[in-house]
Structure 1
Amino acid sequence: MAAKPDIVTLDQIGAFDTLIDARSPAEFALDHLPGAINLPVLDDEERRIVGTLYKQTGAFEARRIGGAWVARNIARHIEAVMQDRPARWRPLVYCWRGGQRSGAFALWLRQIGWAAAQLQGGYKGYRRWVVEQLDALPPTLDWRVIAGPTGSGKTRLLQALAARGAQVLDLEALARHRGSILGAWPDGQPQPSQKAFDTALVDALRRFDPARPVWVEAESRKIGAVQLPEAMAAALQRAPRVQVEVPFAARLALVLQDYAWLGRDPQALALRLSALRGLQSNDTLARWQDWAQAGRLPELFAELMTHHYDPLYRRSQERTAAGRVLPVTALDAAGLDRAAAELLDDAGMPPVFR
């Protein structure tokens, strides 16, 4: 049965000017549709109270109390956000299931005269679609995986490829994590939720041209607290690989540059290293923590690379088919640009990308 004119499906989102998420701030923070703005009809505490009333006293009491809050919040949003919107403005509203919260908001907006619509199925329907896309999209793309031990400049090489017009997927940027015990983003930036990571990943995958290669860094299944979907991990496992080989001194210099921020809080760095207990001897771990607290980062990272990261990488390579080796002698802009040009040449890309 066709949807009503004021209830639209996901494939019609592009016809609207603004996407409004009517859920609570906590729901929005966990995940939301790309580009949506949060104009909650109930805040977190109001939603909790209404939910409790619904369970304890029934639907009528919950709606009697909640209805007044919904009306007040919608009016506040109209006054604060929508006073400059022209008559031709087309907003699309969604909530959890495409039910009462988004329905009330869209009705008010239509009463004013805007061509507001409600998203069929709400966020729940969108989440179901995301899960389907995570299974369907990865096998359709021509993946090229860049591998190499810690400090090989893989992320910088991706950036050099992107600067030459290549299609690039930076999974660490989406996950906001480098995928190691010290891989947290600087200044306490949190990782996205798994659902938000999935949303960002699908949004990126849908933008790629299947007829052109997509370059990506080799990653384990988990990147910090988030996880690659099964179809994505399997596609990357099957993809052609490029093994970047960089002199140790150049790798160490890059690691010291990328992780210099950890030296701002020696005590926190020493505490992070505690995650290696059981993987390294107590004497080794004590030495590394002493170096961390003394700010001796060159010695610390040199041993972390030789005693921890490089052995882990070698073990991971035993489970992976060998690929083409790309020697990179310098990780400066010129050296990375030369490496990117060589990769694109080998991939048969036209001169515009080289």
Structure 2
Amino acid sequence: MKYPEVLGFDALLPQLETFDAIIDARSEAEYALDHIPGAINCPVLNDEERVLVGTLYKQTGAFEAKKVGAPIIARNIARHIETLWADKPREWRPLVYCWRGGNRSGAMAHILARIGWPVVQLEGGYKTYRAHVSAALENPPELDFRVVCGTTGSGKSRLLETLDGIGAQVLDLEKLAAHRGSVLGHLPNEPQPTQKMFESLVWNKLRRFDPSKPVFVESESKKVGNLRVPGVVMERMRASPCIAVNLSRPNRVRLLMEDYEHFCADPSALNTQLDHLVQLHGRAQIEAWHAMANGGEMAELVDQLLEQHYDPAYLRSIDRNFVRYPQADVLALDDIAPDDFLQAARRLHAA
């Protein structure tokens, strides 16, 4: 076999997990926008260098741009080899890609191959990967979704996490989106991925599921924070059988107090989010909730938010969007201890 081997994404997909490393040779900003899940970023040109070379290319032409870019590229590749791969054995087999599978990944793949590693270069680069993901999400695999429903604070996310822990198939959209799915759902110090990255993460989960086994997913709305759930995936979810999680309101308040502990420590952050509800509940009500937050009456505030905002909104949405909810199997939880969720998860997984 002559290396670097150049393969299209469709040919690579069945062996994607066999590579010892997936190397994204694009700049930091390109990588942050989206990348193949599991890829590491080893820029051949970083953000500033890419602008420099790209500007020269437009203003003076390809030859002058390549004269400036070539030594920069060589130094960056040398640094990656010295700091990341110097200890790799001859059998180490990386996959390398850039934007279109051209100069950047080609330069890196050529040098790695000359060293003696069996490197593979993605033909067409990221653009061919992105085209595959977009097409796959337009026609996702037929999966046996089981939609976990329940009002806010009923433990749906904890149940999904527990199901995942015991080996069940789980599509946790909120985890992939780094958001808890409500106006208060932003996770502190954890920004949401871009829309394209979210879609990559969803695609990567869907392709791994066994269609003969159920896939548990939460009854999300079309958007999780700022991110849109792929349309066909949402349609399939909304037509699927439902599981109604039932937990008493006092226990739901306790659970939310645990999950949103950061708001208890910083009432000002909570009040900023509550301001988004002014149009629904009026300024006077929001000011009353502000006062409760500032006064440390968090349990009472959470209870009022459930009664006046979350529960009515959720019940309207679930009845409208999940057509099989009236026939849902009821899953009652007595408490919110880990063992309660473990026993519930085992019942669902065994069903």
Q: What's the TM-score once normalised by structure 1's chain length?
A: 0.92
The equivalent residue for 1:7 is 6
Per-residue CA deviation, residues 266-305 of structure 1 (Å, 9 max, x unaligned), is 2222112111121111110001112222332112111111
Indicate conservation of the 8 Å contact 2:4/2:110, yes or no.
Answer: no
Q: Which residue of 170, 173, 182 maps to 2:172?
A: 170
Partner of 2:330: 325
Give me the whole-angstrom Cα distance separating, in 2, the residues matched to 1:335 and 1:295: 29
Alignment of 1:86-105 (within 5 A): 86-105=89-108
Does the CA contact (< 8 Å) of 2:181 and 2:225 recur in 1? Answer: yes
Correspondence list, 1:238-277, <5 A: 238-277=239-278
Correspondence for 2:292? 291
RMSD: 1.8
Q: Does 1:214 align with 2:204?
A: no
1:241–1:14 Cα change, 3 Å:
closer
- The residue aligned with 1:352 is none
- 1:279 alignment counterpart: 280
CA shift for structure 1 position 328: 2.3
- Following the alignment from structure 2 to structure 1, what is the Cα–Cα distance between the partners of residues 268 and 291? 10
Give the whole-Å Cα distance in 2 for the aligned partners of 1:5 and 1:282.
64
Q: How many residues align?
A: 342
Structure 1 partner of 2:37: 34
| Residue pair 1:270, 1:290 contacting (<8 A) in 2 also | no
Query: Which residue identity lines up with residue 97 of structure 1 in the other structure?
Result: R
The structure 1 residue matched to 2:19, chosen from 16, 19, 25, is 16
Residue of structure 1 equivalent to 2:162: 160
Partner Cα distance (1:128, 1:210) in 2: 23
**SS at the partner of 2:331?**
strand
SS in structure 1 at match of 2:74 = helix
| Paired residue secondary structure (1:60) | helix
Rate the CA distance shift 1:62–1:86 in 2: closer, same or farther, 3 A: same
Contact 1:178 1:184 in 2 (8 A): yes
Distance 1:41 1:108 in 2: 12
1:113-161 residue CA offsets vs partner (Å, 9 max, x unmatched): 22222111111110111112212225x1100001010010111222333
Q: Which moved more, 1:241-250 or 1:330-339?
A: 330-339
Q: Given that residues 270 and 289 in structure 1 are in contact (C-alpha distance below 8 angstroms), is that contact kept between their aligned partners in structure 2?
A: yes
Unaligned runs of 5+ in 1: 348-354
How does 1:113-192 map onto structure 2 within 5 Å? 113-138=116-141, 140-186=142-188, 188-192=189-193
Structure 1 residues 237, 40: CA separation in 2 closer, same or farther (over 3 Å shift)? same
The offset of 1:4, in angstroms, is: 8.9
Go from structure 1 to structure 2 and tell me whether the alpha carbon gap of 1:242 and 1:7 turns closer, same or farther (over 3 Å shift): same
CA 1:240 to 1:109, structure 2 compared with 1: closer, same or farther past 3 Å? same
**Alignment partner of 1:80 is 2:79:** no
Partner of 2:309: 308
TM-score computed with the length of structure 2 as normaliser: 0.92
SS where residue 174 of structure 1 aligns? helix
1:8 aligned partner, one-letter code: L
Read off the aligned partner of 1:70 and give its amino acid letter.
I
Separation of aligned partners in 2, 1:88 and 1:327: 53
Matches within 5 A, 1:190-229: 190-229=191-230
Letter in 1 for 2:104: R
More deviation, 229-238/88-97: 88-97
Decide whether aligned partners of structure 1 residues 257 and 56 sit closer, same or farther in structure 2, where only a CA change above 3 A counts.
same
Task: Give 1:64's aligned residue.
Answer: 67
> Which runs of 5 or more residues in structure 2 are unaligned?
none
Post-superposition offset of 1:89: 2.1
Question: AA paired with 1:202?
Answer: W
Structure 1, residues 19-67: CA drift from partner, whole Å, max 9, x if none? 1111001111222112211111101001111112222222222212112
Change in CA separation of 1:92 and 1:334 when aligned onto 2, cut-off 3 Å: closer
